[in-house]
Structure 1
């Protein structure tokens, strides 16, 4: 889609929406997107190129795909739809080579990159990621990544390392967001680019942070052997690096985080002993660190270790342990996304014990903290399905409404 085609398509969507008396937030709720995403479509910022997303939008407007976009192909059978997400624009930003004109020498001379402005832009990517504001994040990624990629190729030696460091941090934010929206294949690509940019920056600990993002992508892809393959050697290397009398806090944060992703992989694979060993390793590092930090946007520290211990216990089916751990956690200083994830995991634990009221309360609190994280988290949707099955015909209206908002009614 060209920019002109996107604007024309967006105007058609807006016209159809208004003709049916729908507000943007009402259309968004009907198709399990956000009002921000709908707004971006109507303004021609967000492209709609995938047929499944086009079908979803047409369904919400009550029209055929061909009415919405006359040149769209007619499917031979109903299209299977992926779970909706707000990162389509970000996915397009990862597609292809980021700066082809630079390879051919046709790139126009531009002013020197403003490092302060680019730093602020990358910080905003992380703020949106931690806030689970994925539609806004997608638009920001589409703006920031091309500028960083161009700057990395056009900058002189003096600024190139700093630009590559910002590029690595941006790709890590992209990887983290894709993992949280169950787009793990895209997260893998973003993590790989983050690692390459970090190595070019001369900041080795950022390479290890990128490896952490890659391991998370492999867990989401259910390639647990690959997650262990990348996390294990990284842990060994960092153990040797931090064996000095006064290791850096940054190195400890990455080491502890890698222990946590190893625990996650082991728990998902039902390896109880390995999962508990990895959690114990993370607790040891957190005690050595002595405080909650956010180095490399990992949010590692004693509190986050216990948050992840809850998740590990739930994955292992130890609901009682998860709930006992949860009672002792004060997650107030963690990001909205991380606090929401804790409430989702506690909801899962209550669901395992068939405690419908308590589970629903946890999920509603998770939604209050970070609405998009509940709507896009596979475990949250699965828990809602389970609660509806437990309740049967007596399912409370709050649960049914939550299921509709989270696209968990099917």
Structure 2
């Protein structure tokens, strides 16, 4: 059941391909995917996987968002989220003006608590609440840090910039997320915390992962490991190092290097055995559960859907695990189930992802393509799937 006549990733690929002067055969010759698959994606008979989109974006020299259509403005406007982006953009832009004379900052402990609350809201996928509160917290902590500089305040400011990155990514504003990571680096240097810098390199690596620049992503992971080595051996250092290996595993999977995937997962697993479930370390959700979740993600990227589902069967999500991470896991499972022809279970996984984190799922490109793929696989879609497709704007 193709989505004829409407705009989707396939039609955007066709438009950008023609603009760049490529025929379908010419483009197919430049990417590690078949000519027949490209035709089916462009005509709407198959969904565009993230790795296909990244490969095409790299060849055509365009941002991935030009092909995915992000941000999804109509849905953002319906959810009253689009109006919250400009204040965040302004807060990130005004970082170098120093203390705001109109602000009387509260005590450091209160400001640190506010920064933590914003991180918690993102993990709980309360994106509207986080986006609404973020600009004011950034301005107040910035003023406090300039008037009475301390490592604690600069670290709290770095945390708010990280939240700005997280919100921007989840809503599809990838240009803004890059600015937020630059600001995070600026504050992390002033906090004199190499582990904050390492977390920032991990997040930068995932930016390049989405754009199909896997070599750059691996270099950034290596830079992150170098920063961890500047700190004493500790549980926090091990958790950050382990998370860097997890990021490297999915990057290696996109690069189709299965041996490197397994090597990074093994290193991450050894760190996880040392630290346990480290959900308290830099909001990373690192631990044995996240290692299993990344094994699922990496095998989805390797297109080994049977192996992905085997790892998923071993998954036991802790009660205190981040809702955002759990929802993302169910999207990954749905992609594997859809590709394996298990449409009913894939639909259930997507509904679980939506139940856990409705705002995140609505704007998740992987969820949207999985829903599109399910609709295309069915001659007659059940009402539940129809409603789900309408909800994400398909």
Q: What's the counterpart of residue 347 of structure 2?
A: 360
Is 1:83 the counterpart of 2:83? The answer is no
TM-score by length of 1: 0.72
CA spacing shift, 1:91–1:204, aligned 2, 3 Å:
farther
Does the 8 Å contact 1:87/1:178 carry over to 2?
no
The structure with the larger Rg is 1
- Out of 228, 237, 242, which is 1:256 matched to? 242
Q: 1:327: which partner in 2?
A: 313
Deviations 1:332-379, CA, capped at 9 Å, x for gaps: 331111111111111111001111101001100111111112101000
- 3-state secondary structure, aligned to 1:128: helix
Tell me if 1:202 matches 2:192. yes
Rounded to whole Å, the distance in 2 between the matches of 1:110 and 1:178 is 26
1:152 and 2:139 matched: no
- Where do 5+ consecutive residues of structure 2 fail to align? 1-68
| Within-5 A mapping of 1:269-280 | 269-280=255-266
Do residues 142 (structure 1) and 152 (structure 2) align? Answer: no
Q: Which moved more, 1:373-382 or 1:177-186?
A: 177-186
Please, which runs of 5 or more residues in structure 1 have no aligned partner?
1-79
Equivalent residues of 2:194, 2:227 under 8 A apart = no
Q: CA RMSD in A?
A: 2.2
Q: Which residue of 2 aligns with 1:129?
A: 122
Map of 1:228 onto structure 2: 218
- The one-character-per-residue Cα deviations of 1:229-272 (angstroms, maximum 9, x if unpaired) are 2112322453x568x8xx31100111011111111212223232
Q: For the residues of structure 2 that align with 1:81 and 1:277, how far apart are their CA atoms? A: 33
Native 8 Å contact 2:198 2:240 kept in 1 = yes
Is 2:168 the partner of 1:178? yes
The alpha-carbon distance between structure 1 residues 399 and 203, as it changes in their structure 2 partners (threshold 3 A), is same
1:190 aligns with 2:180: yes
Question: Paired residue for 1:384, among 334, 354, 371?
Answer: 371
Aligned 8 A contact 1:188 1:218 in 2: no
Report how far residue 101 of structure 1 moved: 5.2
1:216 aligns to what SS in structure 2?
A: helix
Q: Equivalents in 2 of 1:329, 1:233: separation in Å?
A: 31
Partner of 2:41: none
Is the alpha carbon distance of 1:190 and 1:402 closer, same or farther for their aligned partners in structure 2, counting shifts above 3 Å?
same
Q: Which moved more, 1:318-327 or 1:229-238?
A: 229-238
Q: Residue 87 of structure 1: CA displacement?
A: 5.7
For 1:371 and 1:112, how far apart are their aligned partners in 2?
A: 34
Of residues 158, 168, 172 in structure 1, which corresponds to 2:158? 168
Distance 2:103 2:340 in 1: 61
Match of 2:107 among 104, 110, 114: 114
What is aligned with 1:94? 89
